[in-house]
Amino acid sequence: MNKPHAIQLIIADSHQLFCECLASLLDERGPFDVVARPATLFDALESAIALKPDILLVGKGFSADDIIDFIRRIKPASPEIKLLILGLNEGEPLIARCREASANGVLLKEASMEDFISSIHTIYQGGEVFPAQGGYPSLSPIDHPSANRICAGDAESDSLTAREVEILQLIAEGLSNQQIAHKLCISTHTVKNHVHNVLEKLKAHHRSEAVYQALCRGLVKLPPHS
């Protein structure tokens, strides 16, 4: 059942763990309703045409050419649907290509969760969100303290210990605290302490948000498809 007055979203990415983490975070952060999590762009196109969401979020789990082809296909079919492309690198040529193909925004992989939520609202309200780089000024800038703002918590992420990063990776792979403790030959209590420290350093509210931030910063990797 859809949430009343919620922004309708589709999250498309080949990594389902990423989609599930993002959907969980959005569910806790505001009036959002994730109506589909397609793993292919073909399924994303079909879902978008059938469900007509407000915004379609596209992760970096697809090739650059496939993303551009998708934007060019979906815009004529459903011009009312807005597109936000996630997880690109600053200066990446794909940013300009996405804008030229009529995407509504691009979010860099360094962005924080607050940037992400703000970008969704900006695009929903008819604005655009693009990095101010490569000769393309941001049309509807997110409310940053400065134009060169880095991701909130980057300094904290630098202070993560090797063990904390190792535990973050295992969380990203879907392991519970008990499974992590067994794998690393440490107590569950020790794992909980490490997780608590990770959440504090990344200023994350829960494990899913910590994993999302770690993925964005390249601290951990998603497990390969089975």
Asked whether the predicted pLDDT for residue 158 surpasses 90, the reply is no
Q: Is there a single domain that holds both residue 18 and residue 105?
A: yes
The total of structural domains in the chain comes to 2
Are 98 and 203 part of one and the same domain? Answer: no
Q: What is the CATH number of the domain that holds 70?
A: 3.40.50.2300
As a whole-number percent, the residues of the chain with pLDDT over 70 amount to 85
In a domain, 138, yes or no: no
- What whole-number percentage of the chain has pLDDT above 90? 25
Residues 15 and 112 in one domain: yes
What is the Cα–Cα distance from 16 to 14, expressed in whole angstroms? 6
**pLDDT tens-digit series, residues 111-131:** 888 888 888 999 998 888 887
Residue 137 lies in a domain: no
Please tell me the predicted confidence (pLDDT) of residue 135: 34
98-133 in b/e form (b: 16+ CB < 10 A) is bbebebbbbbbbbbbbebbbbbbebbbeebbbbbee
| Average pLDDT over all residues of the chain | 80
How confident is the model over 41-51, as a mean pLDDT?
91
Q: Evaluate whether 220 touches 214 at the Cβ level (below 8 Å).
A: yes
Phi/psi-derived region of residue 185, left when phi > 0, alpha when psi is between -120 and 50, beta in every other case: left
What pLDDT score was predicted for residue 56?
96
Do 86 and 188 lie in one domain? The reply is no
Q: Is residue 103 part of a domain?
A: yes
Q: Is residue 207 part of a domain?
A: yes
| Whether residue 29 has pLDDT greater than 90 | no
Report the C-alpha gap between 129 and 123 in whole angstroms.
Answer: 7
Whether 76 and 164 share a structural domain = no
Give the mean model confidence (pLDDT) for residues 142-150: 31
Residues 11 and 119 in one domain: yes
Assess whether 110 and 187 both reside in one domain.
no
Q: Is 189 within the bounds of a domain? A: yes
pLDDT at site 140: 38
The pTM score is 0.61
Residues 206 and 167 in one domain: yes
pLDDT band at 217 (very low <50, low <70, confident <90, very high): confident
Confidence of residue 60 (pLDDT cuts 50, 70, 90): confident
Domain-located, residue 110? yes
Answer yes or no: is pLDDT of 42 > 80. Answer: yes
Query: Mean per-residue pLDDT for 145-159?
Result: 42
Structural domain for 167, as ranges: 154-216
Task: Say if residue 179 is in the same domain as residue 120.
Answer: no
Residue 203 lies in a domain: yes
d(C-alpha 44, C-alpha 203), whole Å: 32
| Residue 96 shares a structural domain with residue 191 | no
Question: CATH code at 182?
Answer: 1.10.10.10
Residues 17 and 118 in one domain: yes
The answer for 218, left when phi > 0, alpha when psi is -120 to 50, beta otherwise, is: left
According to the 3-state scheme, what is the secondary structure of 40-86?
CHHHHHHHHHHHCCCEEEECCCCCHHHHHHHHHHHHHHCCCCEEEEE
The answer to whether position 223 is within a domain reads no
Q: Are residues 180 and 86 in the same domain?
A: no
The label of the residue with tokens 């904290």 reads: 156
96: tokens are 């300009």
- In this predicted structure, which of 58-72, 92-106, 144-158 has the lowest mean pLDDT? 144-158
